[in-house]
Amino acid sequence: MQFGLMIIGDEILHGSRQDKHFAFFKQLLESRGLQLAWVQYLPDSRALLTRQLQRSFADGGAVFITGGIGATPDDHTRQAAAAALGLPLQRHPEALSLIEERTLAMGETLTSPGHAQRAKMADFAAGVDLIPNPFNRIAGFAVQQHYFLPGFPQMAHPMAEWVLGTHYQAHFHQTARRQCSALIEGLPESAIGPLMDDIETRWPDIKTFSLPTIRDDQPGLSGAARYRLEFGLKAEGAACALLSEAWAYAEQALRQLGASEITPLND
């Protein structure tokens, strides 16, 4: 099963904060036999967020969204989600109750300006479900397999773990995946394009990939010797049984094309 990821915040796009979500979500999903299919970095723009969420809701599938669900004027995600769904914002009674508990625990009254501001974080599109927040109990929300989380990694990451454990445990480790890859010396990427096409024709369920680099560790190199490729094959499900055969074919073909060295990487 595959998931999308939207990371929202001007501070990440402008470089004032470093993104800590992409690497976490990739590892989190892979550790459960799931996959991160795509990621988007989006600004704090209500109009743009509304358009992107409309597309995502229409496409279907599971998506994590981090950031922009606070109560300050630069937080637009809650409002954009409601607009994308064509639903009104409503104050969620359970979310409000959790915020009230938080306010009282902080020693504030429920009539304080701070609480009035905080209570805005209980305003969600009508009919959403809550995602518990173990950090401060101010909930995120879920609708149509879209899971809206705070931008703070300390909050978002355990909330995402809860989402997967609660809603997707039946999908854990259901699809076998294998990969064979190697570093290839002495071939430019253009030389292996036909081989990649050939492999995907012979084994339609196996996908090839190539990541080229130009070597700078040995300044005297020239011509084909300057190139290094990470070349590999990927398979899922029943195609995993065909991967060894396809890889043996690929290795032989690479040597015939003139690869000077093939260094296997981890399968």
- Domain harbouring 239, CATH code: 3.30.70.260
Domain edge (last residue) among 171, 201, 217: 171
Judge contact between 52 and 65, C-beta under 8 A.
no
3-state class percentages of the chain: helix first, strand second, coil last, to nearest 5:
45, 25, 30
DSSP per position, 55-108? HHHHH-SEEEEES--SSSTT--HHHHHHHHHT--EEE-HHHHHHHHHHHHHTT-
Quote the distance between the C-alpha of residue 183 and its chain's center: 26
Residues 139 and 238 in one domain: no
Cα(127)–Cα(92) distance, rounded to whole angstroms?
A: 9
Residues 9 and 52 in one domain: yes
Residues 81 and 205 in one domain: no
Residues 108 and 225 in one domain: no
Residues 119 and 213 in one domain: no
pLDDT above 90 for 182: yes
Cα(182)–Cα(190) distance, rounded to whole angstroms?
A: 17
Residues 165 and 249 in one domain: no
Give the pLDDT confidence of 221-250 residue by residue, as tens digits: 666 666 789 999 999 999 999 999 999 999
Confidence of residue 267 (pLDDT cuts 50, 70, 90): low
Residues 55 and 151 in one domain: yes
Helix residue ranges, H only, the chain: 10-13, 22-30, 46-59, 77-85, 93-105, 113-119, 153-167, 193-202, 243-257
Give the pLDDT confidence of 29-74 residue by residue, as tens digits: 999 999 999 999 999 999 999 999 999 999 999 999 999 999 999 9
Residues 70 and 135 in one domain: yes
Confidence of residue 188 (pLDDT cuts 50, 70, 90): confident
The CATH number for 124's domain is 3.40.980.10
Q: Tell whether pTM > 0.75.
A: yes
Domain edge (last residue) among 149, 171, 193: 171
Cα(33)–Cα(54) distance, rounded to whole angstroms?
A: 28
pLDDT above 70 for 217: no
Per the structure, the complete domain to which residue 213 belongs is given by: 177-264
Q: Which residues contact 121 (CB under 8 A, 6 or more apart)?
A: 69, 70, 71, 78, 95, 99, 138
Considering only the C-alpha atoms of the chain, give the largest distance between any 2 of them, rounded to a whole number of Å: 78
Rounded (10°) CA dihedral 156, 159, 163, 166: 170
Nearest to 121 by CA among 84, 91, 142, 155: 91
Domain edge (last residue) among 142, 171, 200: 171
Query: How many domains does the structure of the chain reveal?
Result: 2
Percent of the chain beyond pLDDT 90? Answer: 90
Residues 136 and 42 in one domain: yes
Residues 233 and 112 in one domain: no
Q: Which residues contact 158 (CB under 8 A, 6 or more apart)?
A: 134, 135
What's residue 213's pLDDT? 83
Residues 162 and 187 in one domain: no
Residues 74 and 189 in one domain: no
